[in-house]
Amino acid sequence: MTFGEYLKLVNFRLKALRRVKRIKRIRRQRLSVPVNDPTQEMAEPYFTTVFRRIKALRRARRIRKLKTFHRVAPVETPDDARKHPSSTGYFELVRWRLRVYFRARKVRRIRMKHAISKEKKRINIHQIPGYLRLIRRRLQIVLKSRRKPRKNDIRHYIKNPIRTSVIITLNSTTYFLIAYLFIFCFVQLVSVIAASSFSIGTVIYYYNIDFLIRSTDWHEDSVRTVYSAGPMAALILGCILSIAYSRVYDIRHPSKLIILWGIVQAFNHFFGAMLSGSLLSEGFGYAIMWMYFMDTHKLLISIIDIVALVLIGILLSKSFIYSANSYFSELLTYNRSYFIRFQVLIPFIVSNLIIVLLKIPEVTTYEIFLNLVAIFLLLPILVGQIGFRDLYFDEEERHFRIDWRAGLFILVLLVAFRIILGFGFRL
């Protein structure tokens, strides 16, 4: 097909579309007349004329089609038509031309896939009339507006997703570190108070507590009390923080995440410390050892700790998902996994790396294992969000930013924690 024939075909199709629109408009006018309208009898002759014109338009359209078919699949002479076995009359000739046309159109459609790139190179854009460029531009706009977004393409749903993900990650990481330092210092302080009840001197470091007592002076009651007091206090604190979070879960400021991460750290410093201690025989494990449990009992304790962490994670899933009201007005399928990934998973990994770097070179295997055990608590949150129902909070637009005050506070706190406790704090 030459370029001129292509333009003629486009022009013919545009005229056909205009005629179809005109017919639809006339039909709508016909249907818009109510049944009980007294002017209906007066409108009957008018609509009779309209339908007569519609029939005339259809006949004209059919004639133009036949002319177009003749141009697409021309018959050179009447003798050529008579040579065809089915051309016994005018209608047989038209039917044959229709078959030829549809066959040629099918061939062109197959060839178009392979030759469209070459055809675009051969066509000079300056030769296309202005109305064709306008039609193409409008078609591109319509197709772009109707195009369905890809399932995992978050850019179609969230404006500036990179900025949003950075803000969510930085805020969540900051609040995680604040909660960790608070729970860590609280557990260490309770252990120091428990040791002072047995007249045991202590020196608090950023990585451990140094008990100023000879190994032979330890006895059964002191070991059980000192090494279990901190985790037991963390368990009680976790319950208190859970009650406190139930009062503030619906506020929209992201700082409520400090309490939520505090709940995670508190329960992890009890169940996670029990699991780590029973496996590594350190920390809370000393109290378990002095209870003279057998290996079978330690294995049972480890299983119970894992199940308890998973159950707590299931209970906290809704709280973590509902914390999205700080950033979104609704939490649907398209942004739920996106939010959980940057609110929970990435801050957990980044914060643990910061904690390890903070305690180098005195970081211990027990400390690393204790922090990583919290994954059993976060695993139900990461998995359970897949089948969670959609949440609609309100219709207000969210304006959020990085919490620079909390960031500056945790920076000062980390530096003070490392420097002051690096020399040791004696009580």
DSSP string, 352-405: HHHHHHHHTTS--HHHHHHHHTTHHHHHHHHHHGGGPPPEE--SPPP-----HH
Q: What is the pLDDT of residue 83?
A: 47
- Of 33-47, 213-227, 253-267, 360-374, the poorest mean pLDDT is in 33-47
pLDDT at 47 exceeding the cut of 90: no
HSE-CB at 290 with a 13 A cutoff on CA atoms is: 16
Q: With bands split at pLDDT 50, 70 and 90, how would you rate the model's confidence at 14?
A: confident
CA–CA gap between residue 341 and residue 35 (Å, rounded): 61
116/423: higher pLDDT: 423
362/69: higher pLDDT: 362
Q: What is the pLDDT of residue 44?
A: 57
Q: What is the pLDDT of residue 388?
A: 73
Q: Is the pTM of this model over 0.85?
A: no
Q: What mean pLDDT do residues 324-328 have?
A: 85
Q: What mean pLDDT do residues 254-280 have?
A: 92
Hey, CA dihedral for 29, 34, 37, 40, is it positive or negative? Answer: positive
110/289: higher pLDDT: 289
Helix (H, G, I), strand (E, B) or coil at 203: strand
Q: With bands split at pLDDT 50, 70 and 90, how would you rate the model's confidence at 78?
A: very low
Selection from 245, 231, 140 nearest residue 187 by Cα = 231
Q: Which helix (H) or strand (E) holds 290?
A: none
Q: With bands split at pLDDT 50, 70 and 90, how would you rate the model's confidence at 208?
A: confident
Q: What is the pLDDT of residue 400?
A: 81
Evaluate whether 323 touches 260 at the Cβ level (below 8 Å): yes
> In percent, how much of the chain has pLDDT > 90?
28
361/262: higher pLDDT: 262
Q: With bands split at pLDDT 50, 70 and 90, how would you rate the model's confidence at 252?
A: confident
Q: What is the pLDDT of residue 362?
A: 86
What is the pLDDT of the chain when averaged over all its residues? 78
